[in-house]
Amino acid sequence: MYTEIEQATVAIVDRQLEAYNNQDIDAFAATYADDVEIYQGQSLVFKGKQTLVERYGKKFASLSYLHATSMTRMVQGRFLVDHELAESSTQPNKEVDHSVKVIAAYEVENELIKRVTFMG
């Protein structure tokens, strides 16, 4: 049973995942704080919603198919950790040509994603 805070955390991460899978950059960006920070391990990759829109907008536009699934999820307060499987295709027939498993740790603040740390 999730607390109210945990329910809000799950809701925003699920909205983000749905927008990602729909390759909807506006809906995707709407789930993030203006000063969002994206990390790979302990290294800051980029900061800010504008950079997020530029990077993910290009990614969404370049792929015919993009889908991420949470295989395992842990939630504690405003923190959510997913073990995700992300698949994508550059082919017109949408045949998956890239697949990766990653751990994504989300930190939510004021009902927006404030920080994501990717591991793997």
Residue in this structure with the two tokens 């536009």, named with its chain if needed = 61
Distances in Å between the alpha carbon of 61 and those of 23, 71, 104, 111? 8, 26, 22, 27
User: How would you write 40-59 as a 3-class SS string?
Assistant: ECCEEEEECHHHHHHHHHHH
Q: Tens of pLDDT along 58-105?
A: 999 999 999 999 999 999 999 999 999 999 999 999 999 999 999 999
pTM: 0.95
- Distance CA(113)–CA(37), nearest Å, equals 9
Domains in the chain (CATH in brackets) are 4-119 (3.10.450.50)
Residue in this structure with the two tokens 């506006």, named with its chain if needed = 26
